[in-house]
């Protein structure tokens, strides 16, 4: 209830806030397209649109000159430096609905969008996002694997090295997807736990993410740098939604897998009993926050500073990682925004930013193959609403 009221208030204020913002964008950016701005500001752009880069002049924030980065976002945490040998698998839930991947000119439901030289149908867009997610992971962490949890009924047309599709029974319909996602994570951890106790001693860590993220650094680092956690989640300084469910890392030891599974079961229980009305979008995040904040010894003030910390919740050692680095996304609307940290490792193309994810990959792949320059593009365009 509180949320929908909050949203209504936000929507009411949004136009008032956005007008000056867009004006300053047009003043500041020489490449800005005045034609776009003259129309209405609710417009979703069908091409790259750049605003100013925030955080200029601040220490430890990416400095950009045009689309050229003045700092290198560094790779000091790379597994090549530390000789990590751990295996890491990315795990994502992906469902494709009953829509043709192929466009028919006479089919109104297949409204096409074009990025670069490629046109996509609605389903084609989702597949493109998934493929770009895979591209980024394979550039940043070439020794990792990707596991896609999916509806057994859907046949995903994915044929990539080191990528496997794992069917898990469930209800993957649009309205139930966030609920199903936690259930699929739990089912997955269950099978891994059984396998683990059967076979061996080597560890395979898991990183559960949304598929609309770009991994731009080696995440193996966290398992070494923070040797004790069972699972890791990302937090931000947001009173109502301090935790984002788009990134969950699980240490691949029997203990880690078991504790993470139990923790997620707790979240699922809270989700099912308290937040089913929000099941379409935010239920899992609200349930995650509830489980953490209702733990007696937990102090929510920890969320106000963007520094990693460890806390035990229901027997699991949970590592809290700042979204600013591990789940970077610019705030919507007029929220404060202080640029991009130089050590950013994961960029999240939430909501209507997904076109930018494809544009970013094209930028990276076509010219510089330089993440720093690409991140200038993301920084300048991250608040634009796109047509994806
Ligand atoms: C980033 O680049 C700017 C401009 O060259 C420079 O002044 C700043 O010291 C650099 N920051 C870091 C942390 O290297
Ligand atoms: C990593 O391995 C390389 C080659 O095997 C070696 O030269 C280097 O010293 C190692 N680095 C560390 C931090 O152990
Ligand atoms: C689109 O096609 C043109 C002409 O073939 C080519 O020069 C350009 O690089 C392509 N752009 C992208 C983003 O692939
Ligand atoms: C990725 O795929 C290539 C080619 O099939 C294979 O040689 C390599 O071992 C795979 N890497 C991992 C981490 O599975
Ligand atoms: C796993 O490996 C550790 C050391 O690497 C060893 O102490 C332990 O006994 C092993 N456990 C099993 C079940 O093999
Ligand atoms: C990684 O996986 C391979 C193949 O499954 C295994 O042989 C190796 O021991 C694993 N590495 C570690 C550190 O567990
Ligand atoms: C990157 O660009 C090259 C052409 O410059 C193209 O052949 C290749 O398929 C692209 N890679 C991906 C993963 O899109």
Of 198-207, 239-248, 330-339, 371-380, the range with the lowest mean pLDDT is 330-339
| Residue-level pLDDT at 287 | 95
35 part of a folded domain:
no
| Residue-level pLDDT at 74 | 63
Checking if the pLDDT of 225 tops 60, the result is yes
Checking if the pLDDT of 204 tops 70, the result is yes
| Residue-level pLDDT at 185 | 98
Distance in Å, CA 143 to ligand 4 centroid:
7
Given the DSSP bridges, would you call strands 316-322 and 309-313 parallel, antiparallel or unpaired? antiparallel
What ligand is nearest to the CA atom of residue 205? Answer: 6
> Where does residue 290 rank: exposed (0-12), middle (13-18), buried (19+ CB within 10 A)?
middle
What does 189-258 look like in DSSP terms, one character per residue? HHHHHHHHHHH-S--EEEEEE-SSEEE-S-THHHHHHSTT-SEEEEE-S-SS--EEEEEEEE--SHHHHH
With a CB cutoff of 8 Å and minimum separation 6, the contacts of 147 are: 89, 90, 91, 92, 163, 164, 165, 166, 188
34 part of a folded domain:
no
| Residue-level pLDDT at 203 | 78
Of 37-41, 285-289, 330-334, 376-380, the range with the lowest mean pLDDT is 37-41
Residue 290 or residue 113, greater confidence:
290
pTM for the structure as a whole: 0.84
Distance in Å, CA 368 to ligand 7 centroid:
13
Residue 142 CA: nearest ligand 4 atom is 13
Q: Which of 47, 48, 116, 117 to mutate to test the pocket of ligand 3 (most atoms within 8 A of CB)?
A: 117
Checking if the pLDDT of 119 tops 50, the result is yes
In the DSSP assignment, the letter for residue 330 is: P
What ligand is nearest to the CA atom of residue 85? Answer: 6
Pocket flag, ligand 3, residue 116 (CB < 6 Å)? yes
Q: Which of 89, 135, 139, 162 to mutate to test the pocket of ligand 4 (most atoms within 8 A of CB)?
A: 162
| Residue-level pLDDT at 167 | 95
| Residue-level pLDDT at 45 | 84
Checking if the pLDDT of 1 tops 50, the result is no
Both tokens of 269, joined, read 């229980």
Q: What is the mean pLDDT of residues 332-348?
A: 80
263 part of a folded domain:
yes
Q: Are 251 and 229 in contact (CB under 8 A)?
A: yes
Q: What is the sign of the dihedral through the CA atoms of 216, 285, 287 and 175?
A: negative
Q: What is the mean pLDDT of residues 210-221?
A: 94
Q: Ligand 4 atom 3: the closest Cα is on which residue?
A: 161
Of 28-42, 142-156, 343-357, the range with the lowest mean pLDDT is 28-42
| DSSP element (H, E) containing 142 | none
Pocket flag, ligand 6, residue 86 (CB < 6 Å)? yes
Q: What percent of the chain has pLDDT over 70?
A: 79
For residue 199, what pLDDT band results from cuts at 50, 70 and 90?
A: low
213 part of a folded domain:
yes
Distance in Å, CA 263 to ligand 5 centroid:
25
Give the C-alpha distances (Å, rounded to integers) separating 129 from 61, 88, 349. 27, 21, 10
In whole angstroms, give the CA distance from residue 233 to residue 236: 10
Pocket flag, ligand 1, residue 372 (CB < 6 Å)? no
In the three-class reduction of DSSP (H, G, I as helix; E, B as strand; rest coil), residue 145 is classed as strand
Please give the residue range of the domain that contains residue 117: 64-380
Please count the structural domains in the chain: 1
232 part of a folded domain:
yes
Backbone angles phi, psi at 296, to 5 degrees: -50, -40
Q: What is the mean pLDDT of residues 216-224?
A: 91
56 part of a folded domain:
no
Mean pLDDT of the chain: 82
Residue 83 CA: nearest ligand 2 atom is 1
| Residue-level pLDDT at 10 | 35
Query: Within 10 A of 164 (CB to CB), how many other CB atoms are there?
Result: 11
86 part of a folded domain:
yes
Q: Are 238 and 163 in contact (CB under 8 A)?
A: no
Both tokens of 358, joined, read 């494809």
| Residue-level pLDDT at 75 | 56
CATH number at residue 242: 3.90.550.10
88 part of a folded domain:
yes
Pocket flag, ligand 1, residue 60 (CB < 6 Å)? yes
Checking if the pLDDT of 364 tops 70, the result is yes
**Of 127, 248, 278, residue with least CA distance to 188:** 248
How do the residues of the chain divide into helix, strand and coil, expressed in percent and rounded to 5? 40, 20, 40
| Residue-level pLDDT at 69 | 92
């Amino acid at each position: 209830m509180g949320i929908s009221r909050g949203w209504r208030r936000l929507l009411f204020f949004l136009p008032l806030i956005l007008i000056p913002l867009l004006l300053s964008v047009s003043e500041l950016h020489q490449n800005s397209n005045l034609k776009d701005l003259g129309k209405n500001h609710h417009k979703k752009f069908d091409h790259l649109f750049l605003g100013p880069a925030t955080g200029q002049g601040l220490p430890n924030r990416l400095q950009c000159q045009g689309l050229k980065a003045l700092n290198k976002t560094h790779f000091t945490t790379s597994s090549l430096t530390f000789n990590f040998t751990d295996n890491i698998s990315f795990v994502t839930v992906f469902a494709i609905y009953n829509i043709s991947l192929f466009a028919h000119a006479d089919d109104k439901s297949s409204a096409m969008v074009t990025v670069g030289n490629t046109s996509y149908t609605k389903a084609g867009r989702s597949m493109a996002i998934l493929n770009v997610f895979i591209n980024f992971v394979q550039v940043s962490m070439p020794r990792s694997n990707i596991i896609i949890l999916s509806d057994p009924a859907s046949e995903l047309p994915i044929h990539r090295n080191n990528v496997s599709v794992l069917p898990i029974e469930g209800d993957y319909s649009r309205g139930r997807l966030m609920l199903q996602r936690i259930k699929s994570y739990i089912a997955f951890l269950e099978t891994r736990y059984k396998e683990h106790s059967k076979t061996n001693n080597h560890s395979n860590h898991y990183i559960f993410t949304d598929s609309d993220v770009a991994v731009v650094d080696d995440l193996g680092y966290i398992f070494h740098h923070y040797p004790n956690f069972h699972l890791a989640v990302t937090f931000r300084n947001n009173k109502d939604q301090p935790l984002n469910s788009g990134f969950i890392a699980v240490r691949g030891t029997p203990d880690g897998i078991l504790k993470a599974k139990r923790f997620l079961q707790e979240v699922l229980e809270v989700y099912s009993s308290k937040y089913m009305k929000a099941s379409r979008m935010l239920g899992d995040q609200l349930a995650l926050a509830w489980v953490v904040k209702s733990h007696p010894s937990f102090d929510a003030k920890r969320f106000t500073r963007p520094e990693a910390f460890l806390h035990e919740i229901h027997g699991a050692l949970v590592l809290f990682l700042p979204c600013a680095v591990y789940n970077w996304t610019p705030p919507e609307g007029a929220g404060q925004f202080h640029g991009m940290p130089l050590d950013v490792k994961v960029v999240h193309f939430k909501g209507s930013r997904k076109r930018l994810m494809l544009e970013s990959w094209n930028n990276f792949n076509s010219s510089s193959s330089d993440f720093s320059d690409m991140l200038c593009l993301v920084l300048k365009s991250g608040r634009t609403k796109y047509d994806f």
